[in-house]
A and B are shown apart, each in its own frame.
Chain A
Amino acid sequence: MGALTIEQVRKTFGNVEILKGIDIDIEAGEFLILVGPSGCGKSTLLNMIAGLDVPTTGKILLGDRDITHLPSKDRDIAMVFQSYALYPNMSVAQNIAFALEMRKVPKAEREAAVQRVASMLQIGHLLDRKPGQLSGGQRQRVAMGRALARNPKLFLFDEPLSNLDAKLRVEMRAEIKRLHQKTQTTTVYVTHDQVEAMTLGDRIAVMKDGQVQQFGTPDDIYSRPATRFVAEFIGSPAMNLMTAQRAAAGLAASGVALPLAEVQRASISAGAANEVSYGIRPEDIALVSADQTGALPGRISMLEPTGPETYALVETALGVLTARVPGKVVQRVGDAVALQWSPLSAHLFDAKSEQRLA
């Protein structure tokens, strides 16, 4: 039994099945990310862990306690909301101490906790201010402080960084990671941003339409996506995907034979799939000169320099492919180039079931 176990949790609302059977199990101190597009059910699941909603069937266990039907206040869980939900009529210090006050913690202990948290988050100078007088980043810290003050068994974060501007988001992300390393509290973090998911998570659950498409470490998710959706969702720019049919001893798309390794050919032959989605990440594609043998010829249709890299959109027989090139690209728009990649970098999915083949 891990620190948090979600067992066959389902949620129906009227005729709509919002969660279709979720199974997740994490160890104490782990940082779990729930990531997915809007409407995938991640916030609903988080609300159920928090006690703000109840599963239709299934169980949620914290350690070995079944908390599925426990009221929120009895679960020993703290949450940071997307809008921070700081109490506007109370000072920062009162906000942080509120939960302790509700638990009838004596005043001296409350004040000590506030001081401890304030120094951890460097908000000591804000303690007498009201939330309305704080900036976005400061409010974020106070929201985290409120959660930290309770020393709970579980932290929940509901898209806490989406209201911040890009630079602040990067700073706060690092802050959250630092705090997690320090406190080692089990955390569940909901986001729709895959960069946050990859950088913060020990384990990631990629969700779509009420189901967990893949549950694993960031490396699992990135290197061996279990479905086409996961492959496209993680990684920016998105993976290049093309539909291929069986041809000769391998695969061909739009008349072009696709590079395949032996082990991949074997998986295809073993399976019954007629159509296969062939995926290759932009960072795995090399931009080479047009006359390179064995490479796929094409013409550059657009260049997007980002500073450290350049995204090159290249028109080929297989469609427009995006390649990620370190540094600058010598060629210009309209020039002829060729694309090359190792077949082992390719990801193969059954075109119909979208499950990974190789």
Chain B
Amino acid sequence: MSAPSSLAPRLSWGRIALFAALGLFALFFLTPLYVMLSTALKSMDEIRNGTLLSLPLSPTLDAWAKAWSGACTGTDCGGLKPFFMNSVMMVVPAVGISTLIGSLNGYVLSKWRFRGSELMFALMLFGVFMPMQVVLLPMSQILGWLGIASSIWGLVLIHVLAGIPSTTLFFRNYYVGLPDELVKAAMLDGANFWQIFRRIVLPLSTPILVVTLIWQFTNIWNDFLYGVVFSGADSKPITVGLNNLANTTSSVKEYNVDMAAALIAALPTLFVYVVAGKYFVRGLTAGAVKG
């Protein structure tokens, strides 16, 4: 449904108020981004002499360079670069593995139902919502025993485990919409479990694949809780780096560097959002609204 058409394009007072409201809200959402950007392009002098909203008079990329390779994040002063790399090395396997497993699980739960499979699904579903605080302590122990407590693989493992319920949910709900008769026809044609998956179900999965990849990438890249609990000295992801950078109690606070660092951390997910935003929205609504 879209709104009743009688009030659509005429320019009335109501319409003007509508545009004003929409515009104001747009400002509300965009201003922080503007502030981040402009602050990151200023020098500290300019910041002290100006206000939040003043334009950068002589924009410079110094803060960005420092954020990337020179800022202090605790005891090291190597900038965000190592953290960025850690995040990349963590995100790629975590997203790939959790998506793959989710697609197989969704395939089984939707097309190969058996006694108890719905119950299995329901039990797994709780994992989408439960507060992760409750697994932090036991997981630290387990990662310690496995010897991966301070490595990227520890983070990959926990992101995969935490992601499987969500990815399974996405794929299962999507595959339920694929006609069962396709699978039946393929079985009569002689295809086995794997052939049906590879030749018929997977080729039809592109929409949900994109949604799931974007959803997982955004969540895993943006995660902080696991990053701060489960990483060792060399495996901290970029969110942890950013937080350390912005919160170091060093002598002089360099707000421009802080903002530049925040933007660097935000760039990958923002880029994905701008490029593939509508799939992102589909992911949000699919995950949250469905049961």
Contacts and interface: CB of A to CB of B under 8 A. Distances in A.
A141 B204 CA distance: 23
Contact of A83 (B181, B188, B189, B203): B181
Contacts of A102: 189-191, 195
Given A73-B192, A87-B200, A89-B203, A52 B187 contact: yes
A73 B190 CA distance: 4
Contacts of A78: 188
A341 interface: no
A85 B184 contact: yes
B204 A88 contact: yes
Q: Which of B187, B190, B203 has the most CB of A within 10 A?
A: B190
A50 B188 CA distance: 7
Interface string B192-218: 100100011001100000000000000
Interface in A20-72: 50-52, 71-72
A71 B192 CA distance: 10
A98 B204 CA distance: 16
A89 B188 CA distance: 18
B182 to A, nearest CB: 5
A73 B188 contact: yes
Given A83-B181, A85-B182, A87-B182, A72 B204 contact: no
B100 interface: no
| Chain A interface, >50% SS class | loop
Interface string B172-187: 0000000101101111
Given A88-B204, A89-B204, A81 B181 contact: yes
Contact of B184 (A52, A89, A99): A52
Interface residues of A, number: 23
Contacts of B188: 50-52, 72-73, 77-79, 99
B5 to A, nearest CB: 32
| Chain B interface, >50% SS class | helix
Contacts of B182: 85, 87
A103 interface: yes
Contacts of B179: 83, 85
Contacts of A103: 190
A46 to B, nearest CB: 11
A79 B195 contact: no
A61 B249 CA distance: 82
B185 A73 contact: no
Interface in B146-192: 179, 181-182, 184-192
Contacts of A83: 179, 181
Contacts of B185: 79, 81, 85-87, 146
Contacts of A81: 181, 184-185
Nearest to A102: B190
B203 to A, nearest CB: 4
A252 to B, nearest CB: 53
Contacts of B187: 51-52, 71-73
12 contacts: A72-B187, A73-B187, A73-B190, A81-B184, A82-B181, A83-B181, A85-B184, A85-B185, A87-B185, A89-B203, A99-B188, A146-B185
10 nearest A-B residue pairs (beta carbon): A102-B190, A99-B189, A85-B181, A85-B185, A89-B203, A73-B190, A81-B181, A72-B187, A72-B188, A102-B191
